[in-house]
Amino acid sequence: MADYVRSLPDAEFQLVVAPPPREKNIEVAGLAQILGAWVADHHPAELSDLSAGTRVQGIHDVDVLEIRVDRDQMIACGRASIAVSLPNDAASGGEEGLGPTYDSFPLAFEVALDRELRLSEVRSLSIDTTSVAR
């Protein structure tokens, strides 16, 4: 390319190095607890399909990918992991007398929060439980 530019009259070759974009750090205070409370209260079908005794242990590794803010609300979109306990009994294919087993699944969300960071709407929330052998 430099040779081509030198062959052009009144042309000059310049190499400009642009810095890479900065990584963004997006955090919403208390979002893991907000999501965990909603999941515990609403028990999504993905968890009910695992077993009737599935219990939410918590939400962790929340990664907010996008935030949209207006005067009245903030929309947060992202992903996280949900930790659950599953009963381990003969009825669910396990051995009688053993305690629960624990697992973690990917979760994707889009939620609306008010100005006080209270949950006003869950626009979407999905839990990928396809890794569980059924």
Q: What is the mean pLDDT of each run of 10 residues along the chain (134 residues)?
A: 78 83 89 95 89 90 95 95 81 60 94 95 95 69
Structural contact between residues 89 and 96, judged by C-beta atoms closer than 8 angstroms: yes
Whole-angstrom Cα distance, residue 73 to residue 134? Answer: 40
Number of Cβ atoms within 10 Å of the Cβ of 4? 9
83 φψ region: left (φ > 0), alpha (ψ -120 to 50), beta (else): beta
Whole-angstrom Cα distance, residue 1 to residue 124? Answer: 50
pTM: 0.75
The reported pLDDT for the residue numbered 90 is 40
Structural contact between residues 67 and 95, judged by C-beta atoms closer than 8 angstroms: no
The reported pLDDT for the residue numbered 16 is 84
The domain limits of the chain are 29-127
DSSP codes of every residue in 33-99: HHHHHHHHHH--HHHHTT-TT-EEEEEEEEEEEEEEE-SSEEEEEEEEEEEEEE--SGGGTS-TT--
- Lookup: tokens for 124: 């979407």
Single-letter code of the amino acid located at 88: N
